[in-house]
Structure 1
Amino acid sequence: MSDPTYPLFPICAFLGFLVAFIPLPWHIQAWNAGTCLFMFWAGLASLNQFINSLVWHSNISNPAPIWCDISAKFIIGAGVGIPASSLCINRRLYILTRVNTVSITVKDKIRNVYIDLAIGMGLPILVMIMHVVVQGHRFNILEDVGCIPVIYNTPPAYPLVFMWPVVIGCVSFVYAGLTLRAFLRRRASMSDILSANTTLNVNRYFRLMLLACIEMSCAVPLTAFSIHINTSGVSLAPWISWADTHFDFGRIDKVPSSVWRSDHAFKVSVEMGRWIYPTCAFIFFALFGFASEARKHYRQAWVWLAPRIYLSRFLPRFRTAHSPATSCQPLRVTPRGPIHRSAHRL
């Protein structure tokens, strides 16, 4: 039983990959490491799912085992990377509400970028490494979905892998609450503080807060639900040893869609796990892809590109309102997948 909605998902996943990176240039210019990391995880995770949905449409072959090793491991990282990026955003907003001025030095900006990279990139990489401890076998392949990671349902799996999105989401929740409280206390002076910042205005501040609040409100309940439906029906096995957990590690389970779709709970888990990435990308684009700075960059890109693709006849109005096309320079250029249940020893 193939996916009746095909090719809806690959189209949405590819569009999610594209729109996630559209606001990247001006967020790099603004030193917004948290939003760049959000774009990185949401965009590349959408691309990963797009490739998988094409390659494994209506088949369970294994033409690219190395790709599956990378793809399955990346899914683990993206499940932590998106909430970790949201934590970076919440942390930055909280810092802004606590200082008397947002005019910081380049050294301070670099230090904040390093801290954000440690949170938004270091934590996901750490979890990907720790996943090896409870990785029951190499990976699974689901028809119409592609490669998915495997976690042996044993007690160490919870502190090593499962708990991280929940913990990060809770920390983000605390930061968001503190940010909102500080903002309400200082709302009279926040406009003046933000107006002194060349990279963060009031509108962008509220869009960042809205993005962080949306992700924060969804992270904990979705992750808890994901853990529940992925472990329900799978007995909790005791941890015996490394050798026991990794017995027959090279095995690759291939599951036809008629089998995994017959399990309603698992079907919900799988579909939620792959749709969450393009959804995050579209939410990000909806918040930042139509802002004033985004429209400004679209105009600049159009004025630069149009003469090169023989569309200069559409440019007179732009030349009058803005600079001549010949003077424009090219632009310079970042569920939560649930962690699927292990078929280990089933």
Structure 2
Amino acid sequence: MSVKIFFLIVCFIAIILTPIPLTWHIKLRNVPAVCLICWITIFNMISFVNALIWGGSEDEFEIAWNGAVFCDIEIKFIIAASAGMMTATAAISRNLARVMEQVGPAHKTKAMRRVELIQDLLICFGPPIWLMSAHYIVQPNRYYIVRYVGCTPSVDNSWPTIPLIYIWPPIIGFVAAYYAGRVIYLLRRYQRQYSENVNSTLSDSTKSRFMRLFVISTFMVSINFPIVLYIFYHNLQYPMVPYSWKLVHSTFGWDYVPYVKGTSIQFDHWIPVLAGIVCFIFFGTGREASQICKEWFEFFGLGAQFTLLKKMAPKKAEGSSSMSSWISGKMFSSAS
């Protein structure tokens, strides 16, 4: 099996599985988690379609479609989704840290919830919108076409690219890493306190939800943060040229679409695929996900079939639980 075929298979699986817990998070009004799932799904859909269109042989690639209009739109979504996955992760980690720090009263008014919603929206969508907009300032041509990857944004190797584009992924990564580290620190510091107090005030589902969000956010930070630092360092190795708005936005060469003969799927396209599957494992395999599946089956008139499948499924041994519940139990269990 070729790498391309394998990538298409796992990417398609991720596209199908990742949105399953979306309804649950929408009901909980968990904006960062909803954004993370959406950004991952969007990026994987783009990767899947592009691999189908531009993943042929070298001869086929040389005469492949130039992606007019399609790529002009798609590269903006690529920029937004790439940044959006990190901003959503940062927002999740920030909210978890606030929970651990017990910021604000336990009962929140509508005004307080509205402020938190606005903050989450600004974190999740602010940087992606900025990068989509700022990209035009340093966009020397419409885009590149890379074999297997397809539409790829182009940037000018001039100094404005650093503050406008290059610097933001590391900044977002630092913020996400800070809050993820903060959560880990607070978990270790207050483990005994939470074992004694939180265990009696939080339901099992709430604790399990907390741990699932914690695991997925920590996973995203651990994978993405080193990569954005490496990409930032790699981009700085190219010699910078003086910036000229006239040259960058000259009509000469704007419509020229370079074709780059990549040898395989770029590594940064595998990460959202893996992230999508991990999201499903932690968000889509609990009781809440089972309820969502039931609702979907009933929506399509297959409620009886869902009940039959549930009866046929092997039952867990008494006292067993999901991985996330086990972690939650270990973290919040009473100190011996």
- Please give the TM-score of this superposition, normalised by the length of structure 2: 0.80
Q: How does 1:1-346 map to 2 (within 5 A)?
A: 4-58=2-56, 59-60=61-62, 61-62=64-65, 64-99=67-102, 102-190=106-194, 192-193=197-198, 196=201, 201-229=206-234, 232=237, 234-239=238-243, 241-247=244-250, 248=252, 250-255=254-259, 257=261, 260-261=262-263, 271-302=266-297, 304=298, 308=302, 311=305, 314=308, 317=311
Query: SS where residue 258 of structure 2 aligns?
Result: strand
Letter aligned with residue 84 of structure 1: T
Shift of 1:183: 3.2
Q: Which deviations, in whole Å up to 9, do the C-alpha atoms of 1:303-327 show, x marking residues without a partner?
A: x268548848937959xxxxxxxxx
- Residue of structure 2 in register with 1:339 after alignment: none
Letter aligned with residue 258 of structure 2: K
Q: Does the C-alpha gap of structure 1 residues 158 and 118 become closer, same or farther in structure 2, counting only changes over 3 Å?
A: same
Letter aligned with residue 202 of structure 1: K
Letter aligned with residue 8 of structure 2: P
Letter aligned with residue 289 of structure 1: G
Query: SS where residue 45 of structure 1 aligns?
Result: helix
Query: SS where residue 141 of structure 1 aligns?
Result: strand
Letter aligned with residue 36 of structure 1: V
Shift of 1:178: 2.4
Letter aligned with residue 210 of structure 1: V
Shift of 1:287: 1.5
Shift of 1:106: 3.6
Letter aligned with residue 53 of structure 2: V
Structure 2: segments with no counterpart, 5+ residues: 313-336
Shift of 1:253: 2.9
Whole-Å separation in 2 of the counterparts to 1:68 and 1:306 = 35
Shift of 1:55: 1.9
Shift of 1:249: 5.1
Q: Tell me if the contact between 1:103 and 1:197 (Cα under 8 Å) persists in the aligned partners.
A: no
Q: Does the C-alpha gap of structure 1 residues 18 and 245 become closer, same or farther in structure 2, counting only changes over 3 Å?
A: same
Q: Does the C-alpha gap of structure 1 residues 188 and 62 become closer, same or farther in structure 2, counting only changes over 3 Å?
A: same
Q: Which deviations, in whole Å up to 9, do the C-alpha atoms of 1:26-48 show, x marking residues without a partner?
A: 11111111110101110011011
Determine what percentage of the aligned residue pairs are the same residue: 25
Whole-Å separation in 2 of the counterparts to 1:313 and 1:200 = 23
Alignment size in residue pairs = 305
Q: Does the C-alpha gap of structure 1 residues 208 and 244 become closer, same or farther in structure 2, counting only changes over 3 Å?
A: same
Q: Does the C-alpha gap of structure 1 residues 117 and 195 become closer, same or farther in structure 2, counting only changes over 3 Å?
A: farther
Whole-Å separation in 2 of the counterparts to 1:87 and 1:175 = 7
Shift of 1:71: 1.1
Whole-Å separation in 1 of the counterparts to 2:26 and 2:203 = 13
Letter aligned with residue 33 of structure 1: V
